[in-house]
Amino acid sequence: MMHRIACVTLVAACSHPPAAAPAPPKPPEAAATPPETAPPQAKGAEPPAADPATEKARPAPPVPPAPPPKTLAAIDVFGAKHVSNEELIATAGFAVGSPVEFGSEAFGEQVEAATQRLKERYRFAFVEVSPISYFGSSPEAGKVFITIDVVEAGDADRLKFAPEPSKDIPDPDGLVAAWLDYETAVWALQRSGALKPPYTCKGGMHCALGFNHPDLEHREDVFIEKVPGHVAELTAVLRSDRSHERRAAAAFLLAYAKDRKQVITAVLPSIDDPSAMVRNNVMRVLVMIQQRADTVLVPLKPVLRAMRFPTTTDRNKAAYLLAGIARHAPPADRTRIARELGDVLVVMAAMKQPNNRDPAIDVLKAISGEDHGTDAAAWRAWLDRRRARK
């Protein structure tokens, strides 16, 4: 199974296969993904055939240790209107409290089987079972949360994205290949337990698993040095390359440009990319930029749309981004957020998945001036009162 960085934030949570985003003042979990899970396999030519005698004498390489089992903490449902959450969870067949070998082939097969059952039984326009695992210093470390994402036929507009790119765009100075090679290395270290917090970066406007390991430290220098001179070429890769992995890499690379407005201009159109992995990476970069700003930098309109995207890795990033915007938004925009997304935010506030619930609550606090914590019923009452006044 492939797996690229689609982390919730800088700290600790990974989706399966892609996943999750940040939210000051407290940093959210770091997730892996997309959605979001085994580390990516290195690509390249096959090695030459080995001499049989040499092969027989050579000891077998050590088998990497299996990751310790985690616990399935909760299951949420988003988007279902005509089937109860309880029925969908029962059909998926997972047992809350059971051990989970996150990233294993067996768990991947279990997720795929659950997805197929839901597709065959209900004929939704879209359904996806999205597990996210928390690790590192996250208070939820060792836990897995599953979201069953549903798009019903009447909501098919939620599935409309830009056309699939079809070009082969040259890799400027080998930067895309270098980033993909870094991801292969960092996930191998993460999976083996060799990569420890803090996950730090020397440069850039975005940092996920960072470069805080002897095998990684030298890798960031080339991005810091070369990306500013290749912003146009990397933007072309992001917008037009046929490979979603190369587009996703370009999004993270563009965070090493010098000017934050230049980065926003480059990545923002790809918030509508047909690939969940690309959308994830684009919104992660935008989250990091917006949350470090003391004014609104990212336009509100595309973020409002992203809050209705089909996957949990879309919405958690969009919610963290919206929280950063809402803190500095003028009253008219806060009113618009409440009007267009009030119901979505209240639903997310009731979820158990931290990287969906917590940023939704942050948005509700910012637009209401109230604080009802995780009490979704109180947030619903606030929304009903607000509508009654209109």
pLDDT of residue 103: 83
Average pLDDT over residues 57-83: 77
Instruction: State the Cα–Cα distance between residues 257 and 340, nearest whole angstrom.
Output: 34
* Separation CA 267–CA 282 (nearest Å): 6
Instruction: Render pLDDT for 306-338 as a digit per residue (tens, 0 to 9).
Output: 999 999 999 999 999 999 999 999 999 999 999
Q: What is the pLDDT of residue 63?
A: 54
Instruction: Give tens-digit pLDDT for 355-364.
Output: 999 999 999 9
Q: What is the pTM of this model?
A: 0.84
Beta bridge partners of 15: 132
Distance CA 241, CA 255 (A): 18
**105-127 core/surface letters (b: 16 or more CB in 10 A; e: else):** eebbebbeebbebbeeebebbbb
Position 222 scores a pLDDT of 97
Tell me, what amino acid is at 224?
A: I
Q: What is the pLDDT of residues 86-97, one digit of tens each?
A: 999 999 999 999
- The Cβ of residue 150 has, within 10 Å, a number of other Cβ atoms equal to 23
> Which residue type occupies 26?
K
**How large is the average pLDDT for residues 107-114?**
96
Is 307 in contact with 336 (CB distance < 8 Å)? no
pLDDT category at 62 given cuts 50, 70, 90 is: low
Once rounded to an integer, what is the mean pLDDT over residues 23-28? 33
pLDDT tops 80 at residue 13: no
Q: Which ranges in the chain belong to alpha helices (H)?
A: 52-57, 85-92, 105-122, 175-192, 220-226, 231-240, 244-254, 260-267, 276-291, 300-306, 312-326, 331-349, 354-368, 376-389
384 burial type by CB count under 10 A (0-12 exposed, 13-18 middle, 19+ buried) = exposed
User: With pLDDT > 90 as the criterion, what percentage of the chain qualifies?
Assistant: 77
40: nearest Cα among 227, 234, 164, 185: 185
Q: How far apart are CA 77 and CA 67, in angstroms?
A: 27
The size of the chain, in residues, is 390
- For residues 38 and 32, is the Cβ–Cβ distance under 8 A? no
Maximal CA-CA distance, the chain = 83
What is the Cβ-side half-sphere exposure of residue 234, based on CA atoms within 13 angstroms? 30
Contacts of 352 (CB under 8 A, 6+ apart): 73, 74, 75, 76, 145
Residue 36 has pLDDT above 50, yes or no: no
Indicate the SS3 state at residue 351: coil
241 DSSP 8-state letter: B
What integer pLDDT is reported at residue 323 of this predicted model? Answer: 98
Model confidence over 39-55: pLDDT tens digits? 333 333 333 333 333 33
- DSSP-assigned letter for residue 322: H
Q: Is 157 exposed, middle or buried (0-12, 13-18, 19+ CB in 10 A)?
A: exposed
Inter-residue contact 175 to 222 (CB < 8 Å): yes
Q: pLDDT tens, 220-268?
A: 999 999 999 999 999 999 999 999 999 999 999 999 999 999 999 999 9
- Around Cβ 53, how many Cβ atoms within 10 Å? 8
Q: What's residue 351's pLDDT?
A: 97
The first and second tokens of residue 171, run together, are: 């890799």
* Per-residue pLDDT reduced to its tens digit, 341-351: 999 999 999 99
Distance CA 77, CA 81 (A): 10
Q: How far apart are CA 337 and CA 229, in angstroms?
A: 38
31 in Cβ contact with 184 (< 8 Å): no
CA 356 to chain centre: 11
Identify which has the larger pLDDT, 28 or 66: 66
